[in-house]
Amino acid sequence: MKYEKLVRDKIPEIIKSKGKKPLIHTANDEEYFDKLKNKLKEEVEEFAVSEDIEELADNVFYIGAELDKENPGALNELKQWII
């Protein structure tokens, strides 16, 4: 299987625990930003269909990841603002 997308939540470790070997590529800044935008679009579409609060939380995570990349500490500020 080939996904070519961002991963989190220790997905490679989960794949390894099932006896499979994940192929991992560390994206450069440009690739990362493109994949992050694609992932955000995917998550927004999933939320629009499911209205599942977890999908909305994923959107906040990906937005925060991009903010933090540009301004370290911005994700913590976003968390405080939300709470």
**How large a percentage of the chain has pLDDT more than 70?**
89
Query: What band does 38 get if pLDDT is binned at 50, 70 and 90?
Result: confident
Tell me the whole-structure pTM to 2 decimals: 0.58
Per the prediction, the chain carries an average pLDDT of 80
What angle do helix axes 29-50 and 53-70 make, rounded to 10 degrees?
A: 160
